[in-house]
């Protein structure tokens, strides 16, 4: 590490943004120089790299290695003879996926639920965070914060049971209506209001939890900005509009992109628990369909093909949304170096 060239490289690595007009790098870097830089960077970052090894190892074993199992999407797979002995059938499973009306119905239901929740669920944690952040009494803020995020720790079985006990045909509300001589209703079995029901459940369970991230983002806003805005005559709403919202905009966009990536995953447990109550026509989503087809009916290959299609569409949605974010000048999920 005593040569002048290596010292220059250390300096380059330490200041990656700087240009060196006196010695501009040629378009096609000489291979020897590039390899040296790579080795040097490895040496420099060895501590960090060693720290990353366990995480990378875990990812490789538990995330990437199992992906090889997706090969069954191209097989007439039977778990009893294994991947090695199952016959390859080309794209037949994918053809079945795209021509199966029940799968297409499940896709439509999934997209409907996700679109509805994007409009009526996604903004709720933001509004909740703005509300809680605006409270001046610390103990009240803490109490509200604790109360609204606790339902996140309830299982879906419990959440659905609570809703059933309150809003079901034999639930508390109907019992009280009955005592008053008013006609009852059963929201839990009504396919027409199912979208509203699952969204309400999601809001009740997870809006408080979602609020925490936005509260964290709000805590980074410099109070001097508020003071300056107030001195300029900005009222409460103006300060929210011109200071608070711009401060949390990157977080909102980041979460929106991540939400889009999950848009084809609308909650397996929540939906399968209520599928029988309202019928498959409105409650069958991609995940429940894959479960019935793969696990219950033993058509694992078809289910794998359907799952792959879902994964691919989700990936495209994330990449598309990220690109869109960059076009609007936002950071998005990641940026190319």
User: CB burial class (10 A; 0-12, 13-18, 19+) of residue 149?
Assistant: buried
Of 102 and 316, the one with the shorter C-beta distance to other proteins is 102
Q: Which of residues 58-77 bind other proteins (CB under 8 A)?
A: 76
Among 212, 280, 319, 333, binds other proteins (CB under 8 A): 280
Nearest distance from C-beta of residue 263 to other proteins, angstroms: 25
Among 116, 298, 319, 333, binds other proteins (CB under 8 A): 298
CA–CA gap between residue 276 and residue 226 (Å, rounded)? 52
The closest alpha carbon to 198, from 125, 269, 124, belongs to: 269
The two structure tokens encoding residue 316 = 């495209």
Of 31 and 101, the one with the shorter C-beta distance to other proteins is 101
Q: Which of residues 89-108 bind other proteins (CB under 8 A)?
A: 102
| Cα 28 to Cα 9, 31, 40, 42, 295, distances in angstroms | 17, 9, 20, 22, 53
CA–CA gap between residue 245 and residue 68 (Å, rounded)? 43
12 binds other proteins (CB under 8 A): no
- 44 alpha carbon, distance to own chain's centre: 34
Which range touches other proteins (CB under 8 A), out of 15-23, 46-54, 233-241, 270-278?
270-278
Annotate each residue in 120-139 with x if it binds other proteins (CB under 8 A) or - if it does not, as one string: --------------------
Which range touches other proteins (CB under 8 A), out of 11-19, 127-135, 148-156, 168-176?
168-176
Among 277, 313, 317, 333, binds other proteins (CB under 8 A): 277
182 binds other proteins (CB under 8 A): no
∠ CA 265-269-273 to the nearest 5 degrees?
130
| Cα 319 to Cα 278, 279, 315, 316, distances in angstroms | 35, 34, 6, 5
193 binds other proteins (CB under 8 A): no
Of 51 and 81, the one with the shorter C-beta distance to other proteins is 81
Which range touches other proteins (CB under 8 A), out of 33-41, 167-175, 218-226, 229-237?
167-175
164 binds other proteins (CB under 8 A): yes
Cβ contact 208:150 at 8 Å = yes
Task: Determine phi and psi for 304, rounding to 5 degrees.
Answer: -65, -40
Among 133, 174, 244, 322, binds other proteins (CB under 8 A): 174
CA–CA gap between residue 310 and residue 110 (Å, rounded)? 11
Residues making contact with other proteins (CB under 8 A): 76, 78-81, 86-87, 102, 164, 168-171, 174, 186, 188-189, 191, 274-281, 292-293, 295-300
């Amino acid at each position: 590490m005593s040569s002048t060239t290596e010292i220059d490289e250390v300096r380059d690595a330490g200041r990656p943004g700087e240009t060196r007009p006196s010695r501009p790098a040629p378009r096609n870097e000489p291979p020897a120089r590039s390899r040296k830089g790579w080795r040097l960077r490895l040496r420099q970052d060895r501590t960090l790299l060693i720290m990353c090894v366990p995480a990378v190892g875990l990812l490789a074993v538990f995330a990437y290695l199992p992906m090889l199992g997706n090969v069954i999407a191209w097989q007439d797979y039977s778990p009893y003879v294994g991947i090695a002995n199952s016959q390859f059938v080309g794209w037949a499973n994918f053809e079945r996926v795209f021509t199966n009306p029940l799968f297409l119905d499940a896709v439509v239901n999934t997209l409907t639920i996700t679109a509805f929740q994007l409009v009526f669920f996604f903004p709720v944690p933001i509004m909740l965070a703005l509300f809680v952040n605006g409270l001046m009494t610390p103990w009240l803020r803490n109490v509200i914060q604790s109360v609204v995020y606790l339902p996140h720790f309830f299982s879906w079985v419990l959440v659905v049971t609570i809703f059933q006990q309150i809003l079901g045909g034999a639930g508390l509300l109907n019992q009280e209506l009955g005592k008053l001589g008013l006609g009852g209703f059963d929201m839990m079995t009504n396919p027409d209001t199912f979208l509203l029901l699952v969204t309400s459940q999601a809001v009740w369970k997870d809006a408080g939890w979602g609020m925490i991230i936005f509260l964290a983002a709000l805590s980074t806003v410099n109070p001097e900005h508020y003071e300056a805005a107030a001195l300029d005559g900005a009222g409460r709403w103006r300060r929210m509009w011109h200071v608070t919202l711009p401060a949390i905009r990157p977080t909102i966009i980041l979460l929106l992109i991540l939400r889009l990536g999950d848009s084809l995953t609308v909650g397996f447990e929540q939906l399968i628990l209520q599928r029988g109550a309202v019928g498959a026509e409105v409650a069958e989503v991609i995940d429940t369909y894959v479960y019935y087809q793969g696990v219950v009916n033993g058509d694992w290959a078809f289910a794998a093909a359907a799952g792959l299609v879902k994964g691919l569409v989700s990936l495209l949605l994330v990449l598309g949304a990220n690109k869109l974010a960059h076009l609007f000048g936002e950071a998005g999920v990641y940026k190319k170096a």
